A and B are shown apart, each in its own frame.
Chain A
Amino acid sequence: MGRKVVENLLTAQGISVDEETLAAVERWYQAFAREWETVRHLDLTEVLPAPLWCWPP
């Protein structure tokens, strides 16, 4: 996700941030997307979201 996409996402929600924060959020999102790969590799086909069957514990 590029700077413009992050900015648009925040603006659409009425969130305005300074340039420095915007750059940091962009870096955060890129790191998050990399970590999300571990979720992509998990087979969740048969798994219901936790609040539907086992949450709260």
Chain B
Amino acid sequence: MLAAVTSDRLASLAQAIHAGALSPVDLVEGCLERIRQKDRVLRAFIRVDERTALAEAAAREREARQGAVRGPLHGIPVAVKDLFDQAGLPTTAGAAIRREHMAEETATAVRRLQDAGAIVIGKTNLHEFAFGVTSVNPHYGAVANPWDPECIAGGSSGGSAAAVAAGFCAAAMGTDTGGSIRIPAALCGIVGLKPTFGRVSRHGVVPLAWSFDTIGPMTRTVADAALMLSVLAGPDSRDPTTGRYGPFTDTAIDVPPAFRVGRLAGAFFDEALDGEVGAAVDRACDLLSRAGARVIPVHVDAIDAGQVAQTTILFAEAAAYHQRAYPGRLAEYGVDVRELLAAGATIPATAYVEAQQVQAAVIGQVRRLLDDVDVLLCPTVPIPAPRIAEVDPTRSEGWRRVRAPLSRFTRLFNLTGLPAVSIPVGRTRAGLPIGAQLAAAPGQEGRLLGISAALEAAVGWELAPLGAA
């Protein structure tokens, strides 16, 4: 096994804090200063807790001086999508109707970050109720892409992606039901990991669709994602979907000396693919070949039916949750989410059950593919980030045109529950990031991240250092 050469930023930061070479107060101050300077444009945060963050940073600094390090994220500033509860703070879910909501408990995932020493500096903006892929939010503003503020950051975890890419925090938390971690990660040029369904507790997180909702990290590097997952993963008695997988310990990021990559192919993956995105992913495959991979084309026969099935289950579950949680209040939602929730309520029960049969058929097909390859690969998003003005539901109908393409390649891995990661593999001529998506068998995040690290190293993608102005 070869150790991948990756920039292990979170671990380096934590090590420097532990050694007394880096002050958590300085680190948090730097993040807050960047937020003050740039977040008026990016709108990545719904809430920033300067005073609490600085007080916690001072406490972590004192603890580090005394050698009382809480865990691998001691003193590290992180941001959390405003879908996660933090006791004593509102969880808006990006919705106007939850402005006054107050959380009584802290979500398990956030508590695990805090127990590991992380400092939560604020709650990030998102697509309303996480039901969308643009993060153009009618109540809290459209999250802008740090690479071009005229363009979307993607969604629904757009604020978390923009915050990491802009250096507002060292890492962030997202949720993913149809691509909501991976899509914004790809459009903002960062790493976004959707772990295996059931690997990370969802307790204390506002649901979108129970069958697919997954919690995961959004980071600057693959190694950072592995470190975050090691803190987050593991059973939680308050989320019955956890328990199948134990803690994640593969933070060493070992790249297998030889591995097989199944490049997802066929009309579904080739049609409507932007030329620059396709070329960047072709190049990524070449780089993987040079790094020891055997790349072979693979097909999922039932992919089209799988897409409809994923829509059916997601929309029906979202409609069911919202009907019970906020009855009679659809008029208070943004135009797009209002429409999608009403649409979900028209899905027949028979279609929901048939969709679950299709889900089983697709899972069977994909598992057979994974008997022959270590990972599956495709672009994360088939198009570069669209412009905000073109997809703002209050200004145009464009959101309807981009909704399906933006999540076209990500939803397969929610339907199948496989761990999937988006990593940056290039930029368009206009300078917008392009992501490649890799997925592995259930519970195989170690293998997935090892191969992703090989690709990351080969591509040589680097965000500006966190300390840079």
Contact surface of A with B, Cβ cutoff 8 Å: 1, 6, 9-10, 13-18, 21-22, 24-25, 28-29, 32, 35-36, 38-39, 41-42, 44, 47-51, 53-57
Contacts and interface: CB of A to CB of B under 8 A. Distances in A.
Given A15-B342, A17-B342, A57 B305 contact: no
B202 to A, nearest CB: 12
Nearest to A39: B305
| Candidate in B302, B309, B311, B339 with the most chain A CB atoms within 10 angstroms | B339
Contacts of B418: 57
A30 B187 CA distance: 31
Interface of B is mostly: helix
14 contacts: A17-B338, A25-B342, A25-B343, A32-B347, A38-B304, A39-B309, A42-B302, A47-B361, A50-B356, A55-B359, A55-B360, A57-B198, A57-B363, A57-B417
B358 A14 contact: no
The 8 closest A-B pairs by CB, nearest first: A49-B356, A57-B417, A57-B442, A50-B360, A50-B359, A38-B304, A28-B343, A44-B357
B459 interface: no
B308 A38 contact: yes
Interface stretch (B74-82, B155-163, B323-331): B323-331
B129 to A, nearest CB: 16
A32 B87 CA distance: 40
B342 A57 contact: no
A50 B357 contact: yes
Contact of A42 (B198, B305, B417): B305
Contact of A9 (B311, B346, B359, B442): B346
Contacts of B363: 50, 54-55, 57
Given A38-B308, A54-B363, A56-B198, A15 B345 contact: yes
B360 A48 contact: yes
A41 B305 CA distance: 9
Contacts of B279: none
Given A15-B330, A42-B302, A56-B197, A29 B356 contact: no
B5 interface: no
B311 A57 contact: no
Given A15-B323, A21-B339, A28-B339, A39 B345 contact: no
Given A35-B308, A38-B305, A50-B360, A55 B345 contact: no
A47 B305 contact: no
A54 B417 CA distance: 10
A21 B342 contact: yes
| Candidate in A22, A41, A49, A56 with the most chain B CB atoms within 10 angstroms | A56
A32 B311 contact: yes
A17 B344 CA distance: 13
Contacts of A42: 302, 305, 358, 361
B346 A10 contact: yes
Contacts of B442: 57
Nearest to B343: A28
Contacts of A41: 305
Contacts of A54: 360, 363-364
Given A28-B339, A48-B360, A55-B363, 4 more contacts: A32-B343, A56-B241, A57-B198, A57-B417
A48 B308 CA distance: 18
Contacts of B328: 14, 16
B152 to A, nearest CB: 21
A50 B363 CA distance: 8
A30 B361 CA distance: 25
Nearest to B320: A13
B175 interface: no
Contact of A47 (B198, B335, B345, B357): B357
B355 interface: yes
Contacts of A25: 339, 342-343, 346
Given A14-B327, A56-B241, A44 B354 contact: yes
Contacts of B65: none
A29 B344 CA distance: 9
Interface in B238-280: 241, 244
A15 B331 CA distance: 10
Given A24-B339, A39-B358, A57 B302 contact: no
A56 B354 contact: no
Interface string B330-374: 110001001110110111000101111111110110000000000
Interface in B271-327: 302, 304-305, 307-309, 311, 323, 327
A57 B346 contact: no
B124 interface: no
